[in-house]
A and B are shown apart, each in its own frame.
Chain A
Amino acid sequence: MLELIDQFNVFDAFWTTIKLTLWSALFSLLLGTVVAIMRLSPVGFLRWLGGSYVTLIRNTPLTLIIVFCSIGLWGQFGIEPASRDSPTFIVDLNFRLAVIGLSVYHAAFVCEALRSGVNTIPVGQAEASRSLGLTFGQGLRHVILPQAFRGAITPLGNTLIALTKNTTVAVAIGVAEAAYALRNMIEFRPDVMLLNFLLIAIGFVILTLPTGLATSWLASRLAVKR
């Protein structure tokens, strides 16, 4: 087993998985919050735009989005989020394109998780903020979103767990993460096939288990008492 880990750089592969997860989590949280705000806004066009984003992205396979990032975004439209002068150009490029795809995809789920958080807030909270003279933006920032995030910790945690595992799709555009290592292991060490799978599976459980525990703990700790 140690030999396998050593031979296929399993630690490096999982480190890439972790980096993919963290960057995508960050950007999907930001983008998802923006989309959620659009869906809550009093402006009809923004609501429509946010709703359309979620409907389109949520119902598109992730593989399609990731592959599009590579072939479409980079190949067709020439969007190149990495420097050609860098010795690690291809690695950087694929990694960043994967982060874009993962962020865009999971933002739709973050948005819906946040909206479910908003639904836990009694309508009187928004009315009270309006009656005090807070503007829509101020009410959102000081009253609605803080409570929405707290109410959405569990679904956000679920999204993070899904994101962690979904990073494996990045193998489709050649990012050397855990599934990439597994592909090599299957090819070169078919003699220990079961062990190959087990090793990668355990790696993911180690990554996601704490996320689940942490979100349950946070959800109960930060729950808004009414």
Chain B
Amino acid sequence: MTDTRESPGSGLGAPLVVLEDVNKHFGDLHVLKDINLTVHEGEVVVVIGPSGSGKSTLCRTINRLESYESGRITIHGDELPSEGKALAKLRADVGMVFQSFNLFSHKTILENVTMGPIKVRKKKSAEAKARAMELLKRVGVDHQAEKYPAQLSGGQQQRVAIARSLAMDPTVMLFDEPTSALDPEMINEVLDVMTQLAKSGMTMIVVTHEMGFARKAADRVVFMSDGAIVEENTPEEFFTNPQSHRAKDFLGKILTH
């Protein structure tokens, strides 16, 4: 990263992503209930919670892959546009890593990483390629650049997906359960890249079930249940001394194994 932001823990930057009273329904199901969340520059926020608690939906509303009915979401103080070119422009600054990687199947690894910079940022092909190779090297898949996504392992594909997002020089990165579709032996190679990214000062919102990552890399843990933020705290406090009954219950179920 060319970024020279302060490392986490050394004080918070300005508010970057702000959600105010965000509400969303899927039919009768109230999936997001009055969500208020502020993520500061350089901060790493890990969102955890049981399945169906709305954490993925929360992540997807931040770049409006999901719409919401009421409330406000701002990034750098600008409210999310609801559609069109303005929304596309905003999304270009918000990186997103999906559970199912979603690399473009008909494009090579290199083309996957250069598409955004060339088509959206209007960079020259040579410049985009050089930067892409640099990023692929950083995530350790540069020797696979000419292959197609289906020829790579899940872990490699996810690392490429991270490089693809980074190529856009995003101001914030969203991770929607990035390791949930991976075989166990590939989870760490992805988490390592994410940890390294967190250390470099990237602002990150990470929905995950990886408690080890939350402890190691998060500045703050947000616990969601039934569409609401129930508790938020430092990882240390949250894991050792959860306040709410639901958080205790959730941690009891996953940490006893």
Using CB atoms and an 8 Å cutoff, list the residues of chain A in contact with chain B.
42, 122, 124-125, 127-135, 138, 142-143, 146-147, 150, 224-226
Contact = CB atoms under 8 A, between A and B. Distances in A.
Nearest to A143: B104
B102 A132 contact: no
B75 interface: no
Interface of B: 63, 65, 83-85, 88-96, 98, 100-106, 115-116, 119-120, 148, 150-151, 161, 164-165, 168
B66 to A, nearest CB: 10
Contacts of A135: 84-85, 88
Given A125-B102, A147-B106, A225 B148 contact: yes
Given A142-B115, A146-B106, A130 B65 contact: yes
A221 B164 CA distance: 27
Nearest to B65: A127
B116 A42 contact: no
Binding site of B, secondary structure by majority: helix, strand, loop or mixed? mixed
B105 A131 contact: no
A181 to B, nearest CB: 43
8 cross-chain pairs, A with B, having the tightest CB-CB distances, nearest first: A133-B92, A124-B102, A225-B150, A128-B102, A131-B96, A132-B116, A133-B120, A133-B91
B106 A131 contact: no
Contact of A147 (B65, B92, B94, B105): B105
A157 B104 CA distance: 25
Contacts of B94: 131
A131 B89 CA distance: 10
A146 B95 CA distance: 24
Contacts of B103: 128
A143 B98 CA distance: 17
Given A131-B94, A142-B115, 19 more contacts: A122-B100, A122-B102, A124-B101, A128-B96, A128-B104, A130-B65, A130-B91, A131-B96, A132-B120, A133-B88, A133-B91, A133-B120, A133-B168, A134-B88, A135-B84, A150-B106, A225-B105, A225-B148, A225-B150
A133 B65 contact: no
A150 B102 CA distance: 18
A124 B177 CA distance: 14
A125 B149 CA distance: 12
A131 B120 contact: no
A225 B151 CA distance: 9
A39 B85 CA distance: 20
